[in-house]
Amino acid sequence: MHAVGLDVPSVWIRYFSLTGNADEVEIDAYLHGLTDLLPLDRNLVSHAVNELIAETPPPAAPYTDDHMDRHTDSRTDDA
């Protein structure tokens, strides 16, 4: 969750939309290892996190901005 920038409220909202019935405090405690959930709720939390991760764009290598890159080519088109 931390690697992709997910927070507890986002996970809880998605979990809740998947028919989860634990409140946000319970989900927060579960995600921080302070409590356990029923197997169905654990699976719903995992599903919620996986959906949110799938919707998060991966990091990508930046492209050169032609307007910013003033590379001068030593070749000429005079040939």
Q: Report pLDDT for 60.
A: 82
Q: Report pLDDT for 25.
A: 98
User: What global pTM score does this model have?
Assistant: 0.73
* Span 30-66, pLDDT tens digits: 999 999 999 999 999 999 999 999 998 888 888 888 6
Q: Report pLDDT for 76.
A: 54
Q: How many CB atoms lie within 10 A of CB 49?
A: 18
Instruction: Flag whether pLDDT at 26 surpasses 90.
Output: yes
Q: How many angstroms separate the CA atoms of 35 and 49, rounded?
A: 18
Tokens at 36, concatenated: 């356990």
Q: Which of 2-6, 12-16, 17-21, 33-37 has the lowest mean pLDDT?
A: 2-6
